[in-house]
Amino acid sequence: MPLQKRILGKTNISVADVGLGLWAVSGSEWGTAEDRETFAAIDKALDMGVNFFDTADVYGNGHSEELLGQAMKGRREKFIVSTKIGWIGYDGNQSQYTTVDKFIAGVESNLKRLQTDYVDIIFSHIPYAEPNLHVFLEGFEKLQKQGKIKGYGASTSDFDFLKKFNSNGLCSVLQIDYSLLNRTPEAEILPYCQKENIGVLIRGPLVMGLLTGKLNKDSHFEASDFRRNWQNKPEEKKIFLDDLEKVEQLRPLAKGKTLAQLSLQFTLAHPAVSVIIPGAKRPQQVEENVSAGLLAPLTGAELKNMEKITPQNGGRRIWPA
């Protein structure tokens, strides 16, 4: 059975419902990674029917985009690509993109690293209200008319910001953190996206590896892995330990599948969701993740059992990406 295809919001782009997130490349904040493994992971994803690949200008300081660009050589038509812009040069108050010309030049840099003349989707990577929002919106509109982007959206978990971003009704896609450990989008954001025909791209469906069930309180994280903070900072450690408890309660529910697959099936079950983008460093991880989309959908009884452990109003920290 092939991966299910879903329409990505207003774009009318048909995407396989499981994609590949490319944050965890060499030079990023995820510890050691090898370029050859990234290429192998991309090839494995393509072989399994994946056609959606997500990156950003900030991932590995552009290296993620460069790797994806190299992987697409000679076969660009097999890839539906989303990237992001805005985080680089953002000081917490406003971005470096203070004019439309500067913004368009920034997107041209994305395209150069990706070695392509267009991207399918591009996101504003600034997750909160931004005084230069009009610059982003005008820039996106110009680029869309030029054929350099097919659709645009925001990467945010802030509902008020999403509504501002969609004030012109032209937002095509939302990228948002949503998982068994973070169900807060179900209350307002996901219903809003359904109403407004905004495609929903899910990042963090495995919560940085927590929902693979392969981590514990003594897991070793390299010095270059930002997850070391989970063990070294008191507030982070408390959340980490609380999450691990929930993971252990969820583990018995993963009958005949891995906990990661169960968790990915949960995100796919919501009717607002278009595509999920679990990250992977190696092809073996891609195979496990993509296989979740090939399994029979979760039953109502299975979803109710999950609800007992991670209720919608449970809340948790929301991760940036």
DSSP letter for each residue of 262-316: HHHHHHHTSTT--EE--B-SSHHHHHHHHHGGGSPPPPHHHHHHHHHHS-GGG--
33-46: average pLDDT: 97
Q: For 263-319, what is each residue's pLDDT tens digit? A: 999 999 999 999 999 999 999 999 999 999 999 999 999 999 999 999 887 555 555
Is 319 within a domain? no
SS3 131: coil
Q: What is the C-alpha R_g of the chain? A: 19
Tally of domains within the chain: 1
| Catalytic residue list contains 128 | no
Structure-token pair, residue 289 = 């993740």
CB 97 within 8 A of CB 107: no
Is 38 within a domain? yes
Range of the domain at 20: 5-314
The CATH number of the domain where 177 resides is what?
3.20.20.100
**Burial class of residue 89, CB neighbours in 10 A (0-12, 13-18, 19+):** middle
Is 321 within a domain? no
Is 254 within a domain? yes
Residue 312 confidence (pLDDT): 81
Is 320 within a domain? no
Residue 316 confidence (pLDDT): 57
Residue 314 confidence (pLDDT): 59
Is 189 within a domain? yes
Is 123 within a domain? yes
Indicate if the pLDDT at residue 6 is higher than 90: yes
- Exactly one of 59, 97, 152, 178 is catalytic; name it: 59
Is 32 within a domain? yes
Q: What percent of the chain has pLDDT over 70?
A: 97
DSSP string, 185-205: GGTTHHHHHHHHT-EEEEE-T
